[in-house]
Every structure is written in structure tokens, then in C-alpha cells.
């Protein structure tokens, strides 16, 4: 079964700093990859997704992620964060063909200090 690891569960940074959240997955076949965000008191929302094609994916709110197949990674980046980016971020993976289960990482709690 597929699994996802996210490191550095708690991240604290100042506004305008750059953010990078690591995501590594394990699965033998092709996968679809997602980053979700959960703002305080709100439900999960899709930030961006990768299915195929250009491995550099751009999402909403200035976020982007790069799929590096050789490293089984799908790291999330934002060049300059804002206070409103304070949230929990989850990486998720689902096999392109197969068990239809979306597996989540443990999440990164990001706090942006004004």
C-alpha cells in the first residue's frame, strides 16, 4: 500500500520568508499527488495536484510543487509567505490505477508570524 512522509511537523517563519515543505511517498507504480491545506476552523481544500505532464505544478495562492520521480518526492514551495498562510498542509498520494485509497502524510503545521 502507498504511504506518505512529511517532515518537520511544526514550521514557524516570518512573513516574506520562503517556505518549502517536503513530501516523500512510497509506492511501486504511477501515482497522482496532491497538497491539501486546512486553515484554522475550516475544511480541507485542494492547493494543487499532479497527474501527469510538467512536473512543476502551480496551485492557488502562489504555491507550487515539483514532482521528482527519481526521488519519490513532491515538495511544496512558496517564495514569500503571508500571515494568511498559517495553516496545516497535507501531502497525499493515490495510485493512478489500483486501490483508489488516498493516503495522507501527517501534515505540517505552518505558523507565519506577522
Partner 1 sequence: GAVVSQHPSRVICKSGTSVKIECRSLDFQATTMFWYRQFPKQSLMLMATSNEGSKATYEQGVEKDKFLINHASLTLSTLTVTSAHPEDSSFYICSASRDLLGYTEAFFGQGTRLTVV
Q: How far is the CB of 46 from partner 1 (least distance, A)?
A: 7
Q: How far is the CB of 49 from partner 1 (least distance, A)?
A: 7
Question: Helix, strand, coil: what percent of the chain each, to 5?
Answer: 10, 55, 40
Question: Could you give the C-alpha distances from 15 to 27, 34, 94, 101, in angstroms and in order?
Answer: 35, 25, 33, 36
Q: 107 or 112: whose CB is closer to partner 1?
A: 107
Closest CA to 93 of 54, 53, 51: 51
Residue 109 touches partner 1, criterion: CB under 8 A: yes
Binding site for partner 1 (CB under 8 A): 9, 32, 34, 36, 42-46, 49, 51, 90, 92, 94, 96, 100-107, 109
Amino acid at each position: 500500500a502507498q504511504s506518505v512522509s512529511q517532515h518537520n511537523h511544526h514550521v514557524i517563519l516570518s512573513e516574506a520568508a520562503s517556505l518549502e515543505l517536503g513530501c516523500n511517498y512510497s509506492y511501486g507504480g504511477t501515482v497522482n499527488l496532491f497538497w491539501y491545506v486546512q486553515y484554522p476552523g475550516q475544511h480541507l481544500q485542494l492547493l494543487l495536484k499532479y497527474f501527469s505532464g510538467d512536473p512543476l505544478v502551480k496551485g492557488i495562492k502562489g504555491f507550487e510543487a515539483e514532482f521528482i520521480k527519481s526521488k519519490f518526492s513532491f515538495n511544496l514551495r512558496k517564495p514569500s509567505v503571508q500571515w494568511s498562510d498559517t495553516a496545516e498542509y497535507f501531502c497525499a498520494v493515490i495510485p493512478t490505477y489500483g486501490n483508489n485509497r488516498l493516503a495522507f502524510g501527517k501534515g505540517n503545521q505552518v505558523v507565519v508570524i506577522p
